[in-house]
């Protein structure tokens, strides 16, 4: 089963501190959504509200159109997978996974069958009679997932479930989570502060900061066309060049920047709200910064810069540059490009990769 989650004008305060302010969000049924943000951004608070562990100060939560804002956790069609797994230490895996069904009055025979089915789904059928303390972290993780899915929830809430695992296991669990989500079709809402994890599993990312939603969209759209400076900086590495709009001519914005006057094409959807005299920031990714490339139509030249450092990252080389405005920029060069340490180079950016954002 699955459900659409609608969050309307949701706010929550702890005393004077606004943990969530005016959140409006729709998460489509059957999607794998990720709440992404730094610690303290309110993502876990939002998850607690969705799970029913916290009653918001204002606003509403609807699942498939039904208002569940003040429904107890036990009564709503959501289950939570806790960060510390929260398995019942005195029960074996079968009883752990079958607990929700036991609470729903299913017979021991039926719930054991279903629990076994789910343990098979997470590849733990051979450990059904073991206690949680006999398992590794990754295995406990899977039991927690099986237990949460056993009651056939409409929405599964995952509270940083991969935080305690090592990198390799985390990658593996990300793939498994994604595969299982596709198979069961339940709406998954996953909280993390790790943008790589978000990109790996989500089909819908919600970037949060200081209790507000900064940006929502697919991993591609958030990475390539972030809607705010925060979103651009949080989702991967980004370079910023600040400036002020001088004028708009036809479909071009003329912008005075620290690295000269540039003109940027106006996009209807992205920067339509930017006009003359606005403070703006040109945002571009390191892989779109070009070094010593001949001038052409699609390249926006940004003068010269000095390479201060470079490091080999396997798939690419990461270069640190200091441009003529004394700002630092980073560029990703191809794997085998020669080390250009301490040399002066011409830099430029792919025009169509630049995202123009208001910086006030």
Partner 1 sequence: MLGQRLKSFGVWTYVTLLYGFIFLPVGVLVLFSFQDSRLPVMPFKGPTLKWYEAVLSDSRLVDSMINSLMVALSSSLVAVVLGFLAAYGLARMHLPAKGLQRALLTAPLTVSYLIIALGLLIMFNALGVPSSLWTIGIGHVVINVPLCFAIIYSQMGDHQINIERAAHDLGAGDMQTLWLVTAPMMMPSILASFFLSVTFSWDEFIIAFLLSRFDVTLPVEIWGMLRSGLSPKTNAAGSLVFLISVSLLILAELLVFRKLKKQ
Q: Which residues bind partner 1 (CB under 8 A)?
A: 51-53, 72-74, 78-80, 82-84, 86-90, 99-100, 103-104, 147-148, 151
Closest CA to 358 of 227, 225, 209, 206: 227
Nearest distance in Å: CB 296, partner 1: 58
Nearest distance in Å: CB 63, partner 1: 15
Of 94 and 198, the one with the shorter C-beta distance to partner 1 is 94
The answer to whether the Cα torsion of 16, 18, 22, 28 is positive or negative is negative
Of 38 and 73, the one with the shorter C-beta distance to partner 1 is 73
* Straight-line distance from the first to the last Cα atom of the chain, in angstroms, rounded to the nearest whole number: 44
Count CA atoms closer than 13 A to 308's CA, side-chain side: 11
- Tell me the C-alpha to C-alpha distance, in Å, between residue 205 and each of 43, 50, 189, 199, 304: 12, 17, 10, 8, 36
Of 88 and 240, the one with the shorter C-beta distance to partner 1 is 88
Nearest distance in Å: CB 84, partner 1: 6
Of 113 and 339, the one with the shorter C-beta distance to partner 1 is 113
Nearest distance in Å: CB 148, partner 1: 8
Do 279 and 318 touch, CB atoms closer than 8 A? no
Closest CA to 50 of 26, 86, 30: 26
Nearest distance in Å: CB 52, partner 1: 8
Of 53 and 312, the one with the shorter C-beta distance to partner 1 is 53
Of 139 and 281, the one with the shorter C-beta distance to partner 1 is 139
d(CA 158, CA 51): 10
Nearest distance in Å: CB 316, partner 1: 41
d(CA 194, CA 174): 12
Closest CA to 329 of 315, 351, 347: 347
Sheet holding 17-27, edge to edge: 17-27, 5-14, 58-63, 66-67
d(CA 230, CA 207): 9
Nearest distance in Å: CB 92, partner 1: 12
Of 48 and 209, the one with the shorter C-beta distance to partner 1 is 48
């Amino acid at each position: 089963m699955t459900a659409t989650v609608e969050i309307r004008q949701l706010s929550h305060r702890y005393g004077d501190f606004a943990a969530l302010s005016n959140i409006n969000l729709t998460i489509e049924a059957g999607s794998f959504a990720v709440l992404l943000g730094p610690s303290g951004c309110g993502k876990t608070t939002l998850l607690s509200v969705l799970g029913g562990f916290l009653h918001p100060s204002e606003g509403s939560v609807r699942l498939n159109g039904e208002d569940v804002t003040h429904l107890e956790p036990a009564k709503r069609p959501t289950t939570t997978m806790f960060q510390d797994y929260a398995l019942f230490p005195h029960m074996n895996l079968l009883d752990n996974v079958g607990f929700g069904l036991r609470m729903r009055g299913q017979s021991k025979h039926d719930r054991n069958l279903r629990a076994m089915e789910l343990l098979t789904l997470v590849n733990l059928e051979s450990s059904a009679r073991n206690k949680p303390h006999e398992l590794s972290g990754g295995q406990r993780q899977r039991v927690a997932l099986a237990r949460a899915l056993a009651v056939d929830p409409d929405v599964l809430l995952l509270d940083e479930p991969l935080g305690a695992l090592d990198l390799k296991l985390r990658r593996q669990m990300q793939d498994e989570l994604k595969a299982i989500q596709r198979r069961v079709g339940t709406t998954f809402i996953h909280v993390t502060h790790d943008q790589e994890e978000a990109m790996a599993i989500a089909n819908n990312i919600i970037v949060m900061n200081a209790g507000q939603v900064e940006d929502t969209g697919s991993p591609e759209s958030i990475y390539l066309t972030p809607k705010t400076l925060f979103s651009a900086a949080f989702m991967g590495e980004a370079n910023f060049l600040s400036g002020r709009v001088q004028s708009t001519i036809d479909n071009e914005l003329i912008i005075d920047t620290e690295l000269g006057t540039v003109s940027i094409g106006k996009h209807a959807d992205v920067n339509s709200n930017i006009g003359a005299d606005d403070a703006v920031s040109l945002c571009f990714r390191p892989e779109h910064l070009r070094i010593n490339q001949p001038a052409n139509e699609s390249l926006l030249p940004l003068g010269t810069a000095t390479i201060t450092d470079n490091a080999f990252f396997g798939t690419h080389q990461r270069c640190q540059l200091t441009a003529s405005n004394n700002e630092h920029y980073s560029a990703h060069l191809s794997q085998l490009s020669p080390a250009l340490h301490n040399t002066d180079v011409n830099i430029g950016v792919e025009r169509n990769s630049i995202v123009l954002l208001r910086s006030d």
